[in-house]
Structure 1
Amino acid sequence: MCSMVRMTRSAGPRIGRALLTVGAAAALALVAGCSSGEGDTGGASSRTPAVVPRPAQLTVGSGAGFTVTSRTSVLAEGGADARAAAMLVAGELDLPGGSPAGGATPGPGITFRLDPQAGTGPEGYTLTAGPSGVLITAADGAGLFYGGQTLRQLLPAGRTTGTVPPVDVHDHPRYAYRGGGLDVARHFFSVAQVESYVDVLALYKFNHLHLHLTDDQGWRIAISSRPQLTAVGGLTEVGGGKGGFYTAADYRAIVRYAAARHITVVPEIDLPGHSNAAIVSYPELACDGDPAAAPYTDIGVGFSRVCTTKESTYRFVDDVVSAIAALTPGPLIHLGGDEAKTLDPADYRAFMKRAIAVGHAHGKQVVAWDEAAPEQPDLVQVWHPQYDLTDDLRTGIAAATGRGAKLLMSPADHTYLDQKYDASTTLGLDWAGYVGVRQAYDWNPDTYVPGVPAGSVAGVETLLWTETLSTTSDLQTMELPRLPALAEVAWTPQSARNWSDFRTRLAAQAPLWTAQGWTYTKADGVDWK
């Protein structure tokens, strides 16, 4: 049954997928058979379409493509997930919806076909375009949505109408986990601002939103059993601003908006360090004899700790994790574990082991930073640059993978988008070195940590820490164009990636960013037009 869909941006399908399996993809060669161009009225482009991330396989045919106009129909076949994908893409392209009058057969259009037997694999899709229309086929709703994002990039740069070249695309992700992290603790960002960040993630086929909800400077999520966390800890941020926090309804709104775009929210409660805002709110979390905590609005790290020898601390952890788990439909919760510099190593290990057990008790798989690898989190997030991976860190990571844990690769010298592009960048920090676009792109997550078994990497996550970033424009200036570079690292087979090709395709994204009203940096090394 083929149905027309109403143009809307309403919430889409629920997401339920196994997140800790590696999305193994064959290294398929990209085929680019180009034909002579015929402008914007039907012929194929004279070069391979500038899609980011690069599809696993894309063939450009000869002859006419399909011209999308403001009256082009968007159709859905196969049920609710197909309708949801079609509705979202129709909204993004500002195309009409509604059922065909009188049961008439619709003309050529854009069809989203859900087919469980399509053989596309998890999150994979096929897309074919020619004179008779565009057909996107997938075995799941995520694949249909990602096919729609590829369609947006196949249209003339920055436009929602025009000719889609005659193409045949077979695509699927390299990794099952493709994440974007946003620090809302150093500076608070509203629900609408987070949704704007989600829009960028969705365009580039990311499927996780990691929200860093707590830190020394602020606590951003309401916990009904611990009201002081937001009444006190939610009122500060870096630089002395007014801070802010999410109510349960706010958080659910973010979860719904992300889920409609096949993005799973991963909340982070950072403990036992990075905890000053919690201690200011509940002073009993400190150890007897520790200096009295005061609101903190600077950017230093490593000075705070909850008292790991008090049973009341673990009641606090249970209260918070229980509340966050109840609000979060996704399977993951992040419990931090980084930069606890004032804790005795034995106390740190004992705390992380118990905190991870609390996460498991509330039905969640636990993510933790790489310092906590020996304490058996399910997903170890590697953030240290390779030059800073000490023998202890390497040993802990290797032991974790030996027990079956997976790695989430976020090395600061490649994925931290708060780091400056170069010496001329006005925003950001540079403690991990400059991260230009090529630095973000040109690395292999599978081989970054020497000695781990093949298949250990579950995915890649880029992070936006916000010590120096306080507006949506600030975020976009630092994420564009580097976030698409990391999207390709996470999606495209390693053998199909190369910098010379990417730098040209990346530049072609700029008109789309401009059309969306997004700010970006004309960073060095990219073939900007």
Structure 2
Amino acid sequence: MKRYALLLFFSFLLFSACTGFGQLNLIPYPQQVNAQPGAYRFAGQSITYYCSDPKVFANELRYLNKNLLENSSLKEATASQATLQLLKNEQLANTAYRLKINKNGVRLEAKTGEGMFSGLQTLRQLIEFSGSDNALPYVTIQDAPTYEWRGVELDVARHFFSKNYLFKFIDLLALYKFNTLHLHLTDDQGWRLEIKKYPKLTEEGAWRLFNNQDSACIAKSKENPDFALPAEHLRTKNGQQEYGGFYTQADMRDIIAYAAERHIDVVPEIDMPGHMMMATKAYPELLDGSSAGWGKQFSVPLCVCKEEVYQFVEGVLGEVIDLFPSRFVHIGADEVEKSSWEKSALCQELMKREKLSDVHDLQRYFVNRVNTFIRQKGKITIGWDEILEGKVDTTMRVMYWRGWVKDAPLKAVTRHHDLVMTPTNPLYFDYLPNKSTLASTYQLQVVPSDIPADLAHYVKGAQANVWTEMIPSAARLEFMILPRLSALAERVWTNKSLFDTYQQRLIHHFALWDKMALRYRLPDLSGFADQQVLVDGRATLRVQNPLPTARVHYTVDGTLPTQASPVFTSALPITKPGHVRFAAIARNGAKSELYTVTFTESGWKKAVNVPDAKPGLDAAFYAGTFRNTKAMSGNVVRRQVLSNVQLSDTLKWPSFGAKINGYIKVPKKARYNFYFTCDDGGVLRIADQLVVDNDGQHAPVEKSGQIALEAGLHPFAVDFIEAGGGFTLKLAYSEDGGEVKPVPDSWFFH
């Protein structure tokens, strides 16, 4: 890591030369930044301000006084006397702003309240990072978002989050310039919004006896208290403990108003016709001959062949539409168990009358009919990408989530649907974070490469989805979304390749999250391999911790490290096989990932003599979808020589396997750590020894292993599978705990 640290140091010097005091630690980074030497400091507790249009910027003035200048007060002054100016600029786009700080003070320009609010978030971050002397850098910033839709979905149906917590969540979104909060309000596990026409939806559907997800969380809470069910969401009824909660319509108005002040649109989702078990339990007449419960894969859906169902849907959506000012209403329409429709005489009759060929057409009929109702109310319908399986109105906006259905985005835009990207990889933030998730989130390709340029405008942006089956508490939610939420923020706003400086800027945001009382996931620790070797009975564990405000605690007896465990300093001598478990823990209890390094005994691997070795690696490709590398079989469909362990993006097969063989020539005798990143799966063998097992179908994951090699050639093999949805294959190394670098081409032979 020394080379990378040196690069960051020179980047810091460059910023220092420009600003006189250091880099701008802004996330998302502005589109244009022109920094000058010098800094401005507000004088005293009273700050003079001038606003050229107090009517247009009334909301922003309130926000400024309440949230940015906590220890100061605003005092109105003339334009020439004011040190803080909020000016209307008709030449700017609606979402743009311009910020200038010089010796005269702060000048912020925008055309609309939305643009001004974004500028205030940039100013807020500059104030937060201004240091003890409150020095704001001389800088001119011109900025606007790349994408229209910058969103986060929060599932409050599986596990509930209170109104007061949503206020805190909205503040976090506002800080990073998100403009959409998509609330998944109903599902099989809970109905969270009061519907006055159907009171049993919350009377019965907002509460449940503990289900399997609750039980799993309770079991995990024995080791990690973040999995405990919050007491505020528990009640005792008829001697039994229940979990639940819901928002009254008054609660929701408060949430919507709070978000609107921060220019965040709250989009409601009432998932239908599936994911409706709480509704069908409360109102059994929504079914036809079936009982509320589970089918083969998903829950028994509404019987879309009964007119009573459409009366119910329109009654529910009518209240939702009246309540939410958003232009959008999300109806889900995903994961529908259709077998009950096949058995329904009413459905057979409707299909015959409407000339529908099968139950998939029946799903399309339902979606179109509900969409017609929503359009008549002046709103736009959103559905998950399953709606593309039938022909639906192109006014419907599509959310692409099924990462394995690779052609869905192209199909959506070709049909002229507006599209929001929410693919499982990397935007399902309920998936466990690892060393690779921050980079994969930051490097998201919002517009897929197969979408033609003339259709790219249909891609409106991207959104993280947070499904809460295993996220019962605010602490667990924040651990799962931070810091990768900030990576998505920069992708959908800035949309530039600034990952190296982003990582450096990010370190400063952990202190800001401390101030906001957020329980984030600490930065990844580095400098070690997951599997390391004892040679001659000796090994050393080295750990690099990028956050100086957190300590690394470790154990060697298999127990979980806590703040009471020994503190790791610089290097830990290891003299026998076993496991070391460790994690970084901040003063507020926030934690990093839990790491386990396994030590096994090994000797030095001797080099081999291959007199006719030629540069490169031999690669054989197999067509098909394989669950793991061991299942790879069939005829070789392509063979080529690779210069390194990487595959060209010209491989357009939806799925395949590859066997890459040859030799690796290491320049010196050393303990080598190899860092192997795969999507989907792969295994790495060197000197006929398994070094890294990263097998199976999964998103990009880095795993690592260590081997002791003498200088020279050693047998080398990589088996790799791609199961669909895009692939990643990378290999890096370090020697004797040094800098991590890509393995050079010159090391490979066959």
Partner of 2:346: none
2:27 to 52, 57, 68: 52
Show CA shifts across 1:118-173 (max 9, x none): x2212110000112111110000011111111011113538697111001000000
Q: Hey, what's the Cα distance between the residues in 2 that align with 1:160 and 1:84?
A: 29
For residue 470 of structure 1, report the CA deviation from its aligned partner. 1.8
Q: Is the 8 A contact 1:183 1:466 kept in 2?
A: yes
Unaligned runs of 5+ in 1: 1-31, 38-43, 423-433
- 2:243 is paired with a residue whose SS is coil
Show CA shifts across 1:445-468 (max 9, x none): 112665682212111111211111
- 1:345 is paired with a residue whose SS is helix
Q: Does 1:353 align with 2:328?
A: no
Structure 1 residues 249, 454: CA separation in 2 closer, same or farther (over 3 Å shift)?
same
For residue 244 of structure 1, report the CA deviation from its aligned partner. 1.1
Q: Does 1:127 align with 2:99?
A: yes
Structure 1 residues 462, 161: CA separation in 2 closer, same or farther (over 3 Å shift)?
farther
The structure that has the greater radius of gyration is 2
Q: Hey, what's the Cα distance between the residues in 1 that align with 2:264 and 2:166?
A: 12
Partner of 1:9: none
Unaligned runs of 5+ in 2: 1-12, 215-240, 340-358, 526-544, 549-750
Q: Hey, what's the Cα distance between the residues in 1 that align with 2:374 and 2:264?
A: 21
Q: Is the 8 A contact 1:34 1:62 kept in 2?
A: no
Q: Does 1:97 align with 2:73?
A: yes
Partner of 1:8: none
In structure 2, what residue type is equivalent to 1:478? M
In structure 2, what residue type is equivalent to 1:401? V
In structure 1, what residue type is equivalent to 2:432? K
Structure 1 residues 128, 519: CA separation in 2 closer, same or farther (over 3 Å shift)?
same
- 2:330 is paired with a residue whose SS is strand
In structure 1, what residue type is equivalent to 2:522? K
Partner of 1:368: 383
For residue 73 of structure 1, report the CA deviation from its aligned partner. 3.7
Q: Hey, what's the Cα distance between the residues in 2 that align with 1:470 and 1:106?
A: 53
Partner of 1:479: 481
Pairing of 1:13-412 with structure 2 (within 5 A): 34-36=15-17, 44-67=19-42, 70-93=45-68, 94-97=70-73, 99-100=75-76, 107-115=81-89, 117=90, 119-157=91-129, 162-236=134-208, 238-239=213-214, 241-288=242-289, 290-293=290-293, 302-342=298-338, 344-373=359-388, 374-376=391-393, 378-385=396-403, 388-389=404-405, 394=408, 397-412=409-424
Q: Hey, what's the Cα distance between the residues in 1 that align with 2:285 and 2:449?
A: 41
For residue 242 of structure 1, report the CA deviation from its aligned partner. 2.2
Structure 1 residues 69, 211: CA separation in 2 closer, same or farther (over 3 Å shift)?
farther
In structure 1, what residue type is equivalent to 2:122? T
Partner of 1:470: 472
Structure 1 residues 74, 510: CA separation in 2 closer, same or farther (over 3 Å shift)?
farther
Q: Is the 8 A contact 1:51 1:154 kept in 2?
A: yes
- 1:314 is paired with a residue whose SS is helix
The answer to which structure has the higher strand fraction is 2
For residue 191 of structure 1, report the CA deviation from its aligned partner. 0.7
Q: Hey, what's the Cα distance between the residues in 1 that align with 2:430 and 2:129?
A: 28
Give the number of the structure with larger relative contact order, counting CA–CA contacts within 8 Å between residues 6 or more apart: 1
Show CA shifts across 1:154-202 (max 9, x none): 1353869711100100000001111111111001111111111101100
For residue 60 of structure 1, report the CA deviation from its aligned partner. 0.6
Q: Hey, what's the Cα distance between the residues in 2 that align with 1:416 and 1:322?
A: 30
Q: Is the 8 A contact 2:25 2:129 kept in 1?
A: no
Q: Hey, what's the Cα distance between the residues in 1 that align with 2:441 and 2:144?
A: 21
Q: Is the 8 A contact 2:46 2:75 kept in 1?
A: no
Between stretches 357-366 and 344-353, larger displacement belongs to 344-353
Q: Hey, what's the Cα distance between the residues in 1 that align with 2:430 and 2:281?
A: 27
In structure 2, what residue type is equivalent to 1:349? R
Q: Is the 8 A contact 2:398 2:419 kept in 1?
A: yes
| TM-score, length-scaled by structure 1 | 0.82
CA RMSD of superposed structures (Å): 2.7
Structure 1 residues 370, 163: CA separation in 2 closer, same or farther (over 3 Å shift)?
same
For residue 34 of structure 1, report the CA deviation from its aligned partner. 4.1
Q: Is the 8 A contact 1:158 1:513 kept in 2?
A: no
For residue 106 of structure 1, report the CA deviation from its aligned partner. 8.3
Q: Does 1:419 align with 2:453?
A: no
- 1:61 is paired with a residue whose SS is strand
- 1:147 is paired with a residue whose SS is helix
For residue 439 of structure 1, report the CA deviation from its aligned partner. 1.5
For residue 81 of structure 1, report the CA deviation from its aligned partner. 3.2
Pairing of 1:435-474 with structure 2 (within 5 A): 436-447=437-448, 450=451, 453-474=455-476
For residue 346 of structure 1, report the CA deviation from its aligned partner. 2.2
Q: Is the 8 A contact 1:67 1:161 kept in 2?
A: no
Q: Hey, what's the Cα distance between the residues in 2 that align with 1:449 and 1:87?
A: 45
Partner of 2:725: none
Show CA shifts across 1:17-60 (max 9, x none): xxxxxxxxxxxxxxx984548xxxxxx45433011011110111
Show CA shifts across 1:80-136 (max 9, x none): 232321321232221433545xx7888553222223x1x221211000011211111
- 1:348 is paired with a residue whose SS is helix
For residue 381 of structure 1, report the CA deviation from its aligned partner. 0.4
Partner of 1:6: none
Q: Percent identity of the aligned residues?
A: 32
Between stretches 230-239 and 509-518, larger displacement belongs to 230-239
For residue 501 of structure 1, report the CA deviation from its aligned partner. 1.7
In structure 2, what residue type is equivalent to 1:250? D
Show CA shifts across 1:479-512 (max 9, x none): 11011111111101x3x32321211111221111
Q: Hey, what's the Cα distance between the residues in 1 that align with 2:138 and 2:108?
A: 13
In structure 2, what residue type is equivalent to 1:204? Y
Structure 1 residues 463, 448: CA separation in 2 closer, same or farther (over 3 Å shift)?
farther
Structure 1 residues 292, 169: CA separation in 2 closer, same or farther (over 3 Å shift)?
closer
